[in-house]
Chains A and B, each alone.
Chain A
Amino acid sequence: MPAKLKRIKDDALRESLTQAQASLRSGDYPDVVHRCADAYLELLSRKPEMLEGTESLRSILFFPRLGAHLVQESDGSMMVIYDREEFIFSEAVTYFEFAVDSLAKHEL
């Protein structure tokens, strides 16, 4: 398990991303992307300061746009729009690393 994954404190999120890693190994790339997107949405809901001021732009823009992207609803909540359901290896890795790194960085 990559060291960074071990740094995720929340049991449920760590478990989900550990499962995402298993999916990455088995080639189930859509599952990886969905789990990682869900984990990032959870991060945003638990750290509302990430959606305040200029930080908001950063939180949204830095989410990879490789077939899934973040949008902010009029009530301020976030959701992920999937442009397609097929993903390939490098896209899945990108979402996985982004989610793991974001969660570890924000000490979730």
Chain B
Amino acid sequence: MKFGLFYEHQLPKPRDGDQWDEDAEHKLLKNALDQLELADTVGFEYVFEVEHHFLEEYSHSSAPEVFLAAVSQRTKKMRLGHGIALMPPRYNHPARVAERIATLDLISDGRVEFGTGESGSVMEMDGFGIRREEKKRMWEEATRECVKMMTETPYSGTEGEYFGMPARNVVPKPLQKPHPPLWVAASRRETTMVAARLGMGSLGFAFETPDEAKERVEDYYELVREECTPIGKAINPALAILSILSCFDSDEEAIAKGAEGAQFFAYSLGYYYNPFTGGSHRPGKMNIYKQFIEKPEEERWGPLGEGFRSFGGFQAGAQKEEPEDEVTRALWRAAQRGGCIGTPEFVRETLTKYEDSHLDLMIFVAQCGARTHEDIMDSIYRVGTKVLPEFNERHEKHQRWRAKQLEGVEHLINSSI
């Protein structure tokens, strides 16, 4: 199993103010670059950068290609993932996506992971005039054509349902041939199965438990073997999922420094993706963090509530009552606060379960809510130095397992796993 970091660029408003400090966004992005520079040196092999628009406080990452270009110059080995690029043509013309991906691949010496997706928040879809019922077909058409633009000389052109263009040679072409590894965002199980059938990696944004991940891995690889008709010229058989990270020397410290960020992540995600709250958001006028922090703690998980709380809480997270045993209780508490929030031992134990499920890539959300830059750096360093080395050493074993799963697959494979 490999590891990466996931960036939304969350920026809660100050509790006592209507707007951010003037320098807040500047600091946020510069700090993230420092965090990734450190991560690159301690064993994190991927970054995935989201593309969201207008989701103030939840995500200030609307130009991931610019941020990733900067990351490419601050890191040496880290793979640079779009997590994801919004493919409906009203967000981004497919030719512009192809040009940006190729340029980033060239300046990073071939380190791009091309994550694709649709987005589903009302703020974004309405902002760009996209109908929910049509977004998946927009995604499929645009992704299919975008890959052709990267590989055909010249691109033969299209008259599609959602965009059209004449034959043009879209340049530059990416360094990785035939194109960078392809991914699709999968917040539902069904999309993971779409990914398998199209030969794409699945970027699972549903915070699956290890048991769920195991089942999904089995279904996914079965479909790659038996039902795959690639959308591109090479397949990227890979499953990734997200988990929240806050790793310190005691559970109490990890929770104290990490739980609120995880809660805000869940709350603000639920806020924007729930059509009722997200649809009635008043741009520039609301303070979501204040709304969140003033709620009683048990309500801070927001509209996603129970489902989100149980992710990663495979040991005892589903239990309602605190276990009596002290050790179990500490884990229960950590699990209640989501994902990999605890000591290096707790994080190791959690990750081992996912490793046993044959997950290819675990992507951590370390920057979320009002967590401080210093705490994020500490957490990245601690996991990188105390937890990841043993997993990185064992990755060869996973690669052998994966090669066995892919026996008989005749499609060209371009994957960094």
A-side residues, CB < 8 A to B, are: 2-4, 25, 64-67, 69, 83, 88-91, 93-94, 97-98, 101
Contacts and interface: CB of A to CB of B under 8 A. Distances in A.
B32 interface: no
Interface of B: 132-134, 136-137, 139-141, 188-191, 193-194, 197-198, 218-219, 222-223, 226-227
A65 B132 contact: yes
A98 B190 CA distance: 6
15 contacts: A2-B227, A25-B227, A88-B136, A88-B141, A90-B139, A90-B140, A90-B194, A91-B137, A93-B190, A93-B197, A94-B136, A94-B194, A97-B194, A98-B190, A101-B190
Contacts of B227: 2, 25
Contacts of B141: 88
Nearest to B135: A66
B214 to A, nearest CB: 13
B190 A3 contact: no
B126 to A, nearest CB: 15
A83 B133 contact: yes
Interface of chain A: mostly helix, strand, loop or mixed: helix
Nearest to A99: B190
A66 B140 contact: no
A3 B198 contact: no
A84 to B, nearest CB: 8
A3 B222 contact: yes
A66 B219 CA distance: 23
Contacts of B191: 94
Contact of B219 (A2, A65, A67): A2
Contact of A93 (B139, B194, B226): B194
B194 A66 contact: no
Nearest to B223: A2
A3 B137 contact: no
A2 B190 contact: no
Contacts of B190: 64, 93-94, 97-98, 101
A15 to B, nearest CB: 19
A83 B137 CA distance: 14
Question: Which among B141, B219, B226 has the highest number of chain A CB atoms within 10 Å?
Answer: B219
A66 B223 contact: no
A89 B190 CA distance: 12
Contacts of B188: 94
Nearest to A68: B133
A66 B227 CA distance: 22
Given A2-B222, A3-B222, A88-B141, 6 more contacts: A65-B132, A88-B140, A90-B137, A93-B190, A94-B190, A101-B190
